[in-house]
Amino acid sequence: MKNKWVVWVGIAFSFTSMPLFSQNESLSLKKVNQVDFSHISIKDNFWSPRLEKHLTATLPVCIDQIENKTGRIQNFERAAKGRGEHSGIFFDDSDVYKAMEGMAYALANARDAKLEAKLDEWIDKIAACQQPDGYINTFYTLTGLQNRWTDMDKHEMYCAGHMIEAGVAYYQATGKRKLMDVGIRMAEHCMSLFDVGKGHWVPGHEEIELALVKLSLATGEKRFLNFAHHLLEQRGHGYGSTGKPLMGRPAGGAYVHGQWNPSYYQDEMPVRSLSVINGHAVRAMYLFTGMADVAALKHDTAYVSALHRLWDNVVGAKMYVTGGIGSSRQNEGFTADFDLPNKEAYCETCASVGMVFWNQRMNQLTGDAKYADVMERSLYNGALAGISLQGDKFFYVNPLESDGKHHRQEWYGCACCPSQISRFLPSIGNYIYGTSPDALYINLYLGNEADISLNGNGIKVRQITEYPWKGKVQILVEAGQPISQKLKMRIPGWCRQYTIKVDGKKVQPILDKGYAVVEPNGKRQTTVVLEMEMPVEQVAANPRVKQNVGKRAVQRGPLVYCMEETDNKQTYDSALLCKDTKYTVKFNKELLGGVMSVTAKGQHGSLQLIPYYAWDNREAGKMKVWLDYKE
């Protein structure tokens, strides 16, 4: 049995496609490989309604905003003609690309002729504005191509990266490669200017690095992987801050605008030397994800060591109980260790999605379940809060306390978060399973059916569960040949007690890096039932988080709970948790789309709590996660 109390840092954790290149070069540092969501059909009472809302609400909202309300697609139409004004912000192309990636993922889940036709229409418009040398960016095409590649913070490579990701996603979903070919030409253009031995460039907003790895894997061309590695190696040598000349013109944000901040842009030191996370949170997540991808394929163990140090710093001193990161509105990122305000918390939705990306990679590099624990925490709390229950409104910022004036919006001038969540939700299946030569890893528990190949043995896996409301998970495994691999089921860090039955018989499997290891023993079929106790717990912050001294948060299973004023109008301001507070849980199918609500009763009276992800879906009112506490 694990300790009853969990002490976070604010949380501080208590728990300790195509073949790439030649056969030898394709060997990876990864211990666990992702099972792509295209092999998985989600049939789950919690997630299936959200995927349906993604199709019926989220994507239509994104398409309407892009085509009719913001001028984003019109920028491509004007750029193709070479005339007209640019509408919006200089990086608005990326919102179109991210929405397209989400559309492509939806097609991978289920082909839809109308959606596919819309994508083809947009792709034609995008391809039409690509310059003869491969360059594509509507901002510079419409404001002056002579100014391109003069400011490292103008997101040219960031936009290119999102275009590449969308192109790869659409190619994998449909076999159509027109957009991917546009991305290849843009990548080749960038390489002609900034590859090894050419001009220096530090992308002000990371993203292209991980996109280039995806392109390398999709095409089998190592040059894109090598370029991603080179861009990572450009950081920390002063190229951004000194404005070294490029093709006779000044380069770098500092030289042009006097604003380049090496800390903000993760440009203080070579990436392999990093130990402390600084700067903009989303940029950091894309950087670390790109580093992990490159490290796995380039066998760069120095990168892996740096990522371990950075993870310790983030999770140990700069992560909220919701899995959100980035406490400061001023820099959309990080300040000092343990500076985690609640009402002023920034916790950008994109950053929580980035935590899912990065922690999945860390899990793959190590086979350690603690990274999947953080992935789950960020997924169910920090990221999922970013979209309304109806799927049509979005949070950019996710505070842990509100005075009643913070609400989701239909769109934003900087709309990175709506388009981010639109591409993230349909790919949720990516994070459920992993494989290694000797094991099938189960990282997330949700109802699904999956077809997985393990060393050539076709295996069908089915999960039946009411998670995250209940801790019982039934896993049915059926294979064409006797199963020689192990099943590794993650025992979440929040789980204190659990039981496992294999084919009806209770077993006590060994634990390996947070996974319960089950041996099918050469069977072709087996049924495993995992039952995890899911009590309500009071969570204490690290004492160094001054904002939470004398407070507690409440969580149950993977979900963090909060108190909304609308449920507690008489007790909100005087709410108090005590040592003897008693909790009861009840599933209310009429409340917030169906949730397990929590009632806290003690000396303070009675308080009603709901999952944090579901707040601000009813009448306006105050909200808080951390509640006053008295021994």
Three-class SS of 322-390: CCCECCECCCCECCCCCCCCCCCCCCCHHHHHHHHHHHHHHHHHHCCHHHHHHHHHHHHHHHHHHECCC
- Contact between residue 384 and residue 354 where contact means Cβ atoms under 8 Å apart: no
- Contact between residue 186 and residue 136 where contact means Cβ atoms under 8 Å apart: yes
Kindly state the helix (H) or strand (E) to which residue 33 belongs, with its residue range: strand 33-34
CA distances, 325 to each of 10, 275, 321, 372 (Å): 11, 17, 9, 16
Query: How do beta strands 551-556 and 627-630 pair?
Result: antiparallel
Q: Which residues contact 26 (CB under 8 A, 6 or more apart)?
A: 19, 20
What's the CA gap between 283 and 379, in Å, rounded?
A: 18
* Side chain identity at residue 543, one-letter code: P
- Contact between residue 435 and residue 39 where contact means Cβ atoms under 8 Å apart: no
Query: How do beta strands 505-507 and 498-502 pair?
Result: antiparallel
Half-sphere exposure of 312 (CA within 13 A, CB side): 10
Tokens read off for 135: 């360059």
Tokens read off for 105: 């993922």
Q: At what angle do helices 349-366 and 281-298 cross, to 10 degrees?
A: 20
**Exactly one of 156, 207, 332, 564 is catalytic; which is it?**
332
Q: At what angle do helices 349-366 and 301-317 cross, to 10 degrees?
A: 130
Backbone angles phi, psi at 262, to 5 degrees: -55, -35
Closest CA to 107 of 44, 166, 49, 64: 166
Q: State the DSSP string of 522-586.
A: T-SEEEEEEEE---EEEEEPPTT-GGGTTEEEEEETTEEEEEEGGG-TTTTTT--EETT-EEEEE
Residue 416 falls in the annotated catalytic set = yes
**Exactly one of 62, 190, 416, 495 is catalytic; which is it?**
416
* Side chain identity at residue 23, one-letter code: Q
Q: At what angle do helices 93-109 and 72-81 cross, to 10 degrees?
A: 110
What's the CA gap between 473 and 493, in Å, rounded?
A: 16
Residue 417 falls in the annotated catalytic set = no
* Side chain identity at residue 302, one-letter code: A
What's the CA gap between 123 and 127, in Å, rounded?
A: 6
- Contact between residue 532 and residue 471 where contact means Cβ atoms under 8 Å apart: yes
Closest CA to 2 of 465, 487, 493: 493
Three-class SS of 450-518: EEEEECCEEEEEEEEECCCCCCEEEEEEEECCCCCCEEEEECCCCCCCEEEEECCEEECCCEECCEEEE
Closest CA to 381 of 43, 568, 615: 615
* Side chain identity at residue 513, one-letter code: K
CA distances, 173 to each of 102, 105, 170, 490 (Å): 11, 7, 5, 30
Residues marked as catalytic: 332, 416
